[in-house]
Structure 1
Amino acid sequence: MCRLIFIAVFTVISIFCQAQTRVQFRVDMSKPVEIGLFEPLSGDHIIIRGSFNNWQGDDYILYDKGSDYIFSGDFSIEEDPGASVEYKFVILKAAGKNLWEKYPDPDNPPNGNRVFILDTGYQELGPVKYHFDKYYLALAGKEVIFSVEEMQQDFNQMRQTLENEHCCLYEYTSKEIFDSLFQHQYELITAPLHPHEFYNILSPITAKIGCMHTAVWMPGGFWDMQPDNLFPLRVKLIEDYVVVAGSYIDTIQVPAGSIILEINGKPVHEIIGEMRKNISADALNIHFVNSQIEKRFPMIYARRYGFPEKYRLTYALPGQKTRTTIELSPANIQSVRADVFKNFNHPPLKLEILEQKNTAIMKIPSFIFYDRVDYFKHFLDSSFTLIREKEIGNLLLDLRGNDGGDPFCAVPLLAYLEHEPVPYFAEPYGRYAEFANPVHLAKNHFTGNLYTLLDGYCGSTNGHFAALLKYHKIGKIIGTPTGATYKCNAG
């Protein structure tokens, strides 16, 4: 009986100790209203999301009570006095799109959230101005342009970050050359520029590092500017030709195999040459650079040239010299991304047994199974058990298109293929430190003939894996040179 009483008393105490503080939030929305980004009469709302509501939900709505575009709302925050509370204002468009504030507090990295300390009594915050992402201007039909000052600040921040944080900045390009390149590119900032024009100033710098993991990427807002206006054709680089390999839309506008000659009047060989200046690759590996142009052509084109009013294509049909010019219907960003980033969606792992040919074909399109390592290991275990049971003597390992992923997936595969225990990494490396020790042979490790298919897409973790196969003479390698080296120059 005493135990029950104690629990009841403790529960009551806990309830009364839970603090609630009433806080008034106020935000000045005059600028978003002026530019047409925020339209309350059309059903737009301004809400708050923060640590107090798990950064989600639409319940914390603010209202313009004085018709002066100062939106306010009083809410109970269930935190203890002295607690640090973080939040941001979010425009909830009538169509459902969420426009979060862009880094409103630069002194609060990494996300620039607004922050205040909860008091014991009623608190009034603001009014503060809503900080919008400059790319939001495109949603209001405005031109997105960066000022000289903004670009200079970003440029200096990038230079400082690279010089202070990158482990191997001068591995492939000397400091003297880099200093000259930094100065030359900085001096190109002489007038306001569009996002893609600024990208063309920054990306040649990261491309010179020789590190595929260090590159300039466009933010999500850039792709929201014209999400339905991307180059619609898949391409392959074959010798000195850019060949149509398919389409990102259902309509067949140009026959596969056609040779592209010009895009919007610009010779395609000039376009490819300029694209190569923007792409990062380990050890400046041209095979990886070319593979990325093939894989990401619509996105690289947009980063390099922006979103044109039209795509006017001049091409020659397969086996013919006659030039044909047409205007293409564009693709949307969703269809392009679905293909470009398909390896992030756990592509199927496949094993095919050809008993009459005493051969097994194993297709591993990606090592990006960070959240499904056990699933990946189970595939390997079951596959090599079956190969052992059927006494298969030949294994064709297809790693084409595999651009890397989790070493915790690649290491178990090595354990099935190595002739004797060898280290995966040459020295301890973070949470992968154990892989600097010899990797033990797997129970049903393969002892037959191994043939590994590789191509220029192979990089990152797959690059490490391929380097180990070659260095330790594990089987035969077939295909084109990979996009990797024996050393990953990752910053």
Structure 2
Amino acid sequence: MLSILAVFALGQSEATKFTISQLKEDHELLVRSLKEAHAGLYRYTSREQMDRLFEQTRMAIDKPMTEKEFYRLMMPVITAIKCGHTKFYREGRPDDRYAFHDKQLFPLKLYFSNGNAYVRDFYATGSGIPRGARVNSINGLKIPDIIRKLREFIPVDANVQSTLNEEMNLFFNGYFSTFISQGPQYEITWTYKAQTRRSVLHGVHYTIIRQKDSTDRKPNELPLRLQFDNSTTAIMTIENFYVDKGQQDYFWFIDSSFRLLKERNVQDLVIDLRNNEGGIEEWGGYLYSYLADRDFQYYSKIRLARKDTFSFRRYAWLPPQYDAALSLIQVKDGEYLWPMQDYLAVKSPQANAFSGKVYMLVNGLSFSVTSELAAIVQNNTRAEFIGEETGGAYQGNNSGVFAVVTLPNTRLTAGIPLMAFYMNVQAPAKDRGVIPGHIVRNSIDDVLAGRDAVMEYTLQLITKSK
């Protein structure tokens, strides 16, 4: 299923090695934890395929390994689950793509699109490579081969195609150092204006990358915004569904925004959910109640892996009141179901629900709660979609609450989702995300010019519809 031996053969660290016995103990605990707790372990990959992968990795533990080597051996197991919410990381460093290396990192900021990589910016001066140049290879590895290799290590929902580009746009330098190579120099071949050249650049420290990336963000911009393009068109931007109430009150923003849309008789509403990686489940359902044109059920079911406690709990952090919640789990048709979610019930549209035309902008980072909302909106034909496939799967995701299991020897940690959310939809493709009717992506020229081609396309679409 995956090239386990090829993965294991990647370069070795000089750190302390763990014995075969220690590694097999960690392997057994990780596999047992996934089997007992993961609510969607076999949602997209069969039990037979997962068991084969579990056995392949167990058999590959035939010599001492460092923490990093064991991590690289096991990451394809996590990726094979096809769940973007399932985490595996160094202890205390969740979502840290630079956990194993913080120096001698790849010095260019790349932009990935359509199987190519382009130079977006520089983390070191004097590279001699112009912005917009297409990178052909790094240290002798061609870009398509690098993308193919990294695909084995970057978990995404189902078989969603858009997330990989977005992850590499954000964290390529960390992924490259962990899973491919890291060193003092990088040999790069690149093409610009039909001329191909070669450059050798020095690696950089993570502090330089962090500082550069932080200055690229727009300062003092609220995560929830409502703007008016003209008298009949409004643009609502929602950057996430977990806004700090001290910054903005989400429910006040939604209520007041839709009241204002009605007062102004707005006919066209653009909802920009690009790069919104999710948050609180109910917030997505609440927004949909302002878009619905009839009664609706948001979730069809929320499934769990079991109704009793876990054998691995001495190694795990579990949600508060976990034991008390076990008695609330229902058993129906052989499934363990969680009933305590308000949006399992049938809901009615809000009094100020928007009745005009909706245009929803999404991309590969529209994930979790955001992709849940997008699935319901598309299933009920309440919007035209522009952009790229959502990062979350159409039929739902595995998330909610987690068991956090720390392996006793390597101290690597797994975040295992305990709930599988199923949307009340008829998914056109079980293993894909919400795919827009209008596929539009910013090109490298758009990015360098600071131009939002997706928004421009949307506003032109509205104008043409008049």
Could you state the TM-score of these two structures normalised by the residue count of structure 1? 0.63
- Look up the match of 2:282: 408
Describe the SS at the equivalent of 2:18. Answer: coil
Does the Cα contact within 8 Å between 1:454 and 1:481 map onto a contact in 2? yes
> RMSD of aligned C-alpha atoms?
3.2
Relative to structure 1, is the Cα distance of residues 431 and 364 closer, same or farther in structure 2, using a 3 angstrom cutoff? farther
Which stretch has the larger CA shift, 456-465 or 326-335? 326-335
- Look up the match of 2:243: 369
User: What amino acid is aligned across from residue 388 of structure 2 in structure 1?
Assistant: T
1:189 Cα deviation from its structure 2 partner: 2.1
Relative to structure 1, is the Cα distance of residues 170 and 321 closer, same or farther in structure 2, using a 3 angstrom cutoff? same
Measure the CA separation in 1 of the matches of 2:286 and 2:182.
Answer: 44
- Look up the match of 1:208: 80
Matched, 1:257 2:257: no
- Look up the match of 1:193: 65
1:476 Cα deviation from its structure 2 partner: 0.8
Measure the CA separation in 1 of the matches of 2:73 and 2:14.
Answer: 23
Which stretch has the larger CA shift, 271-280 or 167-176? 167-176
Q: Deviations over 1:190-239 (max 9, x none)?
A: 23334332222101111111211113223457956643443343323222
Aligned residues: 348
Match among 162, 168, 173 for residue 293 of structure 1: 168
Measure the CA separation in 1 of the matches of 2:340 and 2:155.
Answer: 24
Does the Cα contact within 8 Å between 1:207 and 1:215 map onto a contact in 2? no
1:489 Cα deviation from its structure 2 partner: 4.0
Describe the SS at the equivalent of 1:402. Answer: coil
Q: Which runs of 5+ in 2 are unaligned?
A: 1-12, 303-336, 399-416, 418-466
Measure the CA separation in 1 of the matches of 2:148 and 2:127.
Answer: 27
Match among 293, 315, 321 for residue 195 of structure 2: 321
User: What amino acid is aligned across from residue 414 of structure 1 in structure 2?
Assistant: Y
- Look up the match of 2:50: 178
Does the Cα contact within 8 Å between 2:76 and 2:152 map onto a contact in 1? yes
Which stretch has the larger CA shift, 261-270 or 452-461? 261-270
1:277 Cα deviation from its structure 2 partner: 0.7
Match among 431, 449, 454 for residue 362 of structure 2: 454
Relative to structure 1, is the Cα distance of residues 336 and 271 closer, same or farther in structure 2, using a 3 angstrom cutoff? farther
Describe the SS at the equivalent of 2:110. Answer: strand
Does the Cα contact within 8 Å between 1:369 and 1:409 map onto a contact in 2? no
Describe the SS at the equivalent of 1:187. Answer: helix
- Look up the match of 2:262: 388
Describe the SS at the equivalent of 1:405. Answer: coil
Match among 439, 460, 482 for residue 347 of structure 2: 439
- Look up the match of 2:318: none
Which stretch has the larger CA shift, 304-313 or 281-290? 304-313
The structure with the largest alpha-carbon Rg is 1
Does the Cα contact within 8 Å between 1:249 and 1:331 map onto a contact in 2? no
Relative to structure 1, is the Cα distance of residues 175 and 324 closer, same or farther in structure 2, using a 3 angstrom cutoff? same
Q: Deviations over 1:357-409 (max 9, x none)?
A: x2111111222337669712222223222222221111111111112111232
Relative to structure 1, is the Cα distance of residues 331 and 367 closer, same or farther in structure 2, using a 3 angstrom cutoff? farther
- Look up the match of 2:298: 424
- Look up the match of 1:270: 145
- Look up the match of 1:279: 154
1:456 Cα deviation from its structure 2 partner: 1.7
- Look up the match of 1:485: 393
Q: Deviations over 1:270-324 (max 9, x none)?
A: 111111011222213222233322222122223313642333332222x323123
1:172 Cα deviation from its structure 2 partner: 1.9
Describe the SS at the equivalent of 1:257. Answer: coil
Relative to structure 1, is the Cα distance of residues 329 and 203 closer, same or farther in structure 2, using a 3 angstrom cutoff? closer
Describe the SS at the equivalent of 2:155. Answer: coil
User: What amino acid is aligned across from residue 382 of structure 2 in structure 1?
Assistant: I
Measure the CA separation in 2 of the matches of 1:302 and 1:434.
Answer: 44
Measure the CA separation in 2 of the matches of 1:407 and 1:247.
Answer: 38
1:329 Cα deviation from its structure 2 partner: 4.3
Describe the SS at the equivalent of 1:420. Answer: coil
Which stretch has the larger CA shift, 274-283 or 328-337? 328-337
- Look up the match of 2:376: 468
Q: Deviations over 1:406-446 (max 9, x none)?
A: 12322221121111231221136758611112333234221
User: What amino acid is aligned across from residue 475 of structure 1 in structure 2?
Assistant: A
Describe the SS at the equivalent of 2:120. Answer: strand
Does the Cα contact within 8 Å between 2:189 and 2:196 map onto a contact in 1? no
Does the Cα contact within 8 Å between 1:370 and 1:405 map onto a contact in 2? no
Q: Deviations over 1:89-143 (max 9, x none)?
A: xxxxxxxxxxxxxxxxxxxxxxxxxxxxxxxxxxxxxxxxxxxxxxxxxxxx973
1:450 Cα deviation from its structure 2 partner: 0.5
Relative to structure 1, is the Cα distance of residues 439 and 411 closer, same or farther in structure 2, using a 3 angstrom cutoff? same
- Look up the match of 1:237: 112
Give me the identity figure in percent.
Answer: 26
Measure the CA separation in 1 of the matches of 2:253 and 2:213.
Answer: 24
Measure the CA separation in 2 of the matches of 1:399 and 1:225.
Answer: 32
Does the Cα contact within 8 Å between 1:241 and 1:260 map onto a contact in 2? yes
Could you state the TM-score of these two structures normalised by the residue count of structure 2? 0.67
Q: How does 1:304-383 map to 2 (within 5 A)?
A: 304-305=179-180, 307-317=182-192, 319-332=193-206, 335-336=209-210, 348-356=223-231, 358-369=232-243, 375-383=249-257
User: What amino acid is aligned across from residue 433 of structure 1 in structure 2?
Assistant: Q
User: What amino acid is aligned across from residue 284 of structure 1 in structure 2?
Assistant: N
User: What amino acid is aligned across from residue 165 of structure 2 in structure 1?
Assistant: N
Does the Cα contact within 8 Å between 1:425 and 1:436 map onto a contact in 2? yes
